[in-house]
Amino acid sequence: MTAPTPVRLLVCDDHAVVRAGLLALLGSADDIEVVGAAGSGEEAVALAAKLRPQVVLMDLQLGDGIDGVEATRRIAGRPGAPYVLVLTTYDTDADINRAIAAGATGYLLKAERPEELFTAIHAAAEGRTTLSPPVASRVMAQLRTPAPQLTDREQEILAQLAQGLGNREIARALFISEATVKTHLGRIYDKLGVDTRSGAVAAAKERRLLR
């Protein structure tokens, strides 16, 4: 019986020790062939185009330069692109949402066992999604909880807030009174479940409410 063709894999992680550990681990799998390793997002994008792997194993935090999300977006956006499997220590809603929106096929945490990583790589090579259990739980929780509905005016004020403008500046920009701005801010805080300006911006970014 002919052995299956190994999955061609590109690894991207900016920590040399972690990258070496991954290469050693993956090198022990007969059905996975590591064709390259990148230490930055830019290098991963270039190597993905040059080496044409089936799967890119992508860290999210990559130090200087573009992060894993932007690298994923650039890789996944090309014709005939490889699948991108995120491997990270971060499991916040914002990180998960950004990675998936960028085109990641799967999202795995570094705490997973090696066998789970191998399985996820093969699933990604077939275009199937694999999520670590904590990540899957977060995704399901988001689906069960509808995003708050903001009015057009609240959206406008939130956008100004994200730019760091104060109440007076927002009032001038939108041709409304400061009192009206304060009223809308109170409603925005209530809908987002926060009580500060920075909290409102952070919550809006996490829930992808900023246009």
Comparing C-alpha atoms, which of 23, 54, 59, 55 is closest to residue 41?
Answer: 59
pLDDT of residue 2: 60
pLDDT of residue 191: 86
Percent of residues, the chain, with pLDDT higher than 70: 97
What's the length of the chain?
211
pLDDT of residue 112: 92
What average pLDDT does the structure give for the chain?
Answer: 91
Q: What is the pTM of this model?
A: 0.71
Parts of the chain with a pLDDT under 50: none
pLDDT of residue 97: 83
The enclosing H or E element of 12 equals strand 7-12
Output the CA–CA distances (angstroms, integers) from residue 88 to 14, 18, 143, 148, 194, in the order listed.
12, 11, 22, 29, 28
pLDDT of residue 206: 74
Note the pLDDT tens digit of each residue in 13-44: 999 999 999 999 999 999 999 999 999 999 99
Comparing C-alpha atoms, which of 59, 150, 170, 36 is closest to residue 109?
Answer: 59
pLDDT of residue 19: 94
Angle of CA points 88, 89, 94, to nearest 5°? 80
